[in-house]
Chains A and B, each alone.
Chain A
């Protein structure tokens, strides 16, 4: 039933920030559907609202008006507590600067989302191992973030994003801090997660060559989407 519905339906979505007496509109009346298994790259100039849009999808910011519907249910009107629970079950986040906990090992960082699931310790360890194997960094499980390169840290972050088997991965400039070769490796991995494991991915990027890994590229400009065609 849910597979026939779009994963997301954004309807008439607007976001306005108020700074002092000034009101800044980020986007207005956006409509958008995201289907299961999609891999969308959202591009656009700085300040165009790409990250703000991603925040709406991830339930970490609320729209000024309009609706964010996930699997047929509105999430924009949920309480902070309900949104936290919803995020833990449905969303995996990948950040530009990895945002790993510096005091935890790679494996412990990956285990973090599982602490909210109530899974027993043994099962959690199994899942962490699998996630680290998927991203090809199982041999660094005991390393602290500072002992890992940027690319390795982003792999750990991706493992953390997928370990609880979320329905959507939201990536904000996931290769923005990486060199070209490492960036390509990370993007290939995201593509693989999409094609082989069926993960739905929405990625915000400045980089046109990164966007090419997605199935769809959307260009956000002046609060409107311009579809630019499929990637590879």
Chain B
């Protein structure tokens, strides 16, 4: 036997009680980890945004398009390296449930602006020279088991062709990847020209423009200049950083961060109260045993350390189980969430935050019981019981 045995025996003195406390803690950490993973996935776009990348949209909101002529005028603004544009196609494959995020883009400049996207040279060549080419992100290709050479139809639930059809046929001529796994690859792109010339309405418009500046320090100046170009026009613009644009996109769904923080906070506060009170009562129940240990020569510091270690053990086991279950769940459902939340997984940052919280939880719930145990006077304890 050693001190660790003594700590373990103390913690599991009443097995059912210890298990119930661990279950409570594991629930809190399960909620924390799952919601943390969701939050991270939601913010992935913000996290991978390049600092020198700006987005220009119609000032009404980003769903309202702008005249195509804006593209040429923005190219003239000083301090810009590359400009490209994109239109939201919407799109689904075979049936509406098979949603496919698809954009109509200017093929060459888009790859220049999004230089983190990797396309093999021969596929890049095909992409630039094939009017009906569709390039597909690796995650999307995996989801639908598409490969280069496949010919697929995509249906738009927004746009219509001049012949009344809303189906566009595409030849998959490239599958793009990214070195950084947090960069989403759950979407597809095709030629703006192919899109524009077949439209029944709203031709010669762009949904948004993306540009890179020569230096981050020029961001504000460039943004102001672009917006000034189109001031007092029927389609005024608003230019922001890509991160701000992504954040605004997420916030359409509500303040995710506040919702998650409130849920996690409520779960933790409740469980903190339950576990904290239970631990105080459990230690109080052991007053006489602690007094015996002190009589035998265990000093107050050692008693404090032992009780606090019990609290750490409780928190780490309960929290560890919660995190493991959450990671298991995330792995199980990640595939189903791939098109909606690319990169949905259990990020290391959430696990590290959880470990930090477990330590804080153990300190908060364990400190007072340990302090009380440390202060037990042998004479009082034997007199009391």
Contacts and interface: CB of A to CB of B under 8 A. Distances in A.
Interface in A70-125: 80-81, 84-89, 93, 95, 99, 101-104, 108, 111-113, 115-116, 121, 124
Given A103-B9, A111-B1, A85 B299 contact: yes
A112 B293 contact: yes
B85 interface: no
A80 B299 contact: yes
B13 to A, nearest CB: 5
B300 A113 contact: no
B178 interface: no
Interface string B95-121: 000000000000000000000000000
A112 B6 CA distance: 9
Contact of A99 (B5, B6, B288): B288
Interface residues of A, number: 28
Nearest to B378: A60
A130 to B, nearest CB: 16
B305 interface: no
A65 to B, nearest CB: 17
**Most interface-central of B9, B300, B378 (chain A CB within 10 A):** B378
A102 B5 CA distance: 14
B9 A115 contact: no
Nearest to A51: B382
Nearest to A115: B3
Given A60-B378, A60-B379, A99-B288, A88 B5 contact: no
A93 B292 CA distance: 9
Nearest to B14: A103
A25 interface: no
Contacts of A111: 1
Interface residues of B, number: 24
Contacts of A101: 9, 289, 292
B295 interface: yes
Contact of B295 (A60, A89, A108, A124): A60
B297 A88 contact: yes
B10 interface: yes
B356 interface: no
B343 to A, nearest CB: 47
Contacts of B12: 103
A114 B13 CA distance: 22
Contacts of B1: 104, 108, 111, 115, 124
B2 interface: yes
Contacts, number: 66
B296 A112 contact: yes
Interface string A21-34: 00000000000000
B5 A108 contact: yes
B153 interface: no
Contacts of B300: 80-81, 84
B13 A85 contact: no
B190 to A, nearest CB: 70
Interface string B60-72: 0000000000000
B320 to A, nearest CB: 23
Contacts of A115: 1-3, 6
Nearest to B295: A93
Given A101-B292, A103-B10, A115-B6, A89 B379 contact: no
Contacts of A113: 296-297
Interface in A44-74: 55, 58, 60-61
Contacts of A124: 1
B379 A61 contact: yes
B131 interface: no
A104 B6 CA distance: 8
B298 interface: yes
B79 interface: no
Nearest to A61: B379
Contacts of A84: 294, 297-300
18 contacts: A55-B378, A61-B378, A80-B299, A81-B300, A85-B297, A86-B297, A87-B296, A88-B296, A89-B297, A93-B296, A95-B382, A102-B289, A112-B293, A112-B296, A116-B296, A116-B297, A116-B298, A121-B2
Interface of B: 1-3, 5-6, 9-10, 12-13, 288-289, 292-301, 378-379, 382
Given A55-B378, A80-B299, A102-B13, 13 more contacts: A58-B295, A60-B294, A61-B378, A81-B300, A81-B301, A84-B294, A84-B299, A84-B300, A85-B299, A88-B298, A99-B292, A108-B1, A116-B298
